[in-house]
Amino acid sequence: MAGAAKTDTVEIEIKAQLPLLTQAVPIDASCSGDRWSAQDEDQLAKLIAIIAMGQASYAAHILKELLPATPAFTHDNLRDEAKRHLTVQEDKKTPRTGYPRWQRDGFIFEAISWIAARQVHGARALLKDPHVSATSQGLDGLMIELAEDKSEVVSTTIFEDKCTDNPRQTFLEKVIPALLERHLNKRSAELVASASVLLRMAGIDDAAAARLSAAVMNRSQRRYRAAFALPAELDSQKERQKLFKGYDALEGISSDRRVGASLIVTGKLRHWFDELATQAAAYLDELETGEV
């Protein structure tokens, strides 16, 4: 009688999908385009919930390793605070249970913009975390890319992320003026300070980080990315040309350093954000919570 076949136990590692589909798209001779859309809304909602809990660094790890989205740890207060970021409350009654719609949707879109940059540029890109403070203003996003040996900064990207019902007006009246200030180095102390923090987080010592942070002042190494959330009817090269017309007001740089990014949503814009926020809040409710 033949002996029993020997079987080995094989541990299968479960890999998740990337939450977004990202691709380069044409605009015109003055700028280049990026297009984003949801590939796995469940994973996207969970990552937004994790970012809202202040754990963007762990969200970056999840994206790098393609892991199912779960937080590094949970806590009752963190979960409740995250839920407030995902809830709309237009009045100013206290205790506050949410934030105005523009602020709630702005936070979600900033998180999506951060996720898109992580997907496209990988772990070597140093990225400023999304705002999780209700009072945070200023720089929407900053990305620094280093040489392989970390000896120099090879590229800096400044983000302007807008979730608005009037994208063209917002681009002309808010995005371009804000980017022009950056382009003319009129608001550089904030850039230098943010860059220094990112460089130190990459393991660069204080003195070297201070020297390398000067690279954010160098316009020849700088890129700009203006990003908008848009409904499907605006998803065409013709509509992108209309939206980003005037980007060449940022003079002295090549077109690939002016990026127009579009998150394309299904259905009505605000309804899509409502649904995604509901998914993220429901996930927070499912988490086991307790004291650390």
Could you read off the pLDDT of 67-77 as tens digits, one per residue?
999 999 999 99
Residue 66, by phi and psi: left (phi above 0), alpha (psi -120 to 50) or beta?
left
Could you read off the pLDDT of 46-102 as tens digits, one per residue?
999 999 999 999 999 999 999 999 999 999 999 999 999 999 999 888 888 999 999
Domain boundaries, the chain: 24-286
So what's the pLDDT on residue 292?
42
Q: Across-strand partners of 36?
A: 22, 263
Peptide bond into 95 cis (omega under 30): yes
As a whole number of angstroms, the distance between CA 171 and CA 152 comes to 32
- Asked whether the predicted pLDDT for residue 278 surpasses 60, the reply is yes
Q: Considering the entire predicted model, what is its pTM?
A: 0.92
Integer CA distances (angstroms), 286 to 88, 276, 281, 289, in order: 20, 16, 9, 9
SS3 34: strand
So what's the pLDDT on residue 261?
98
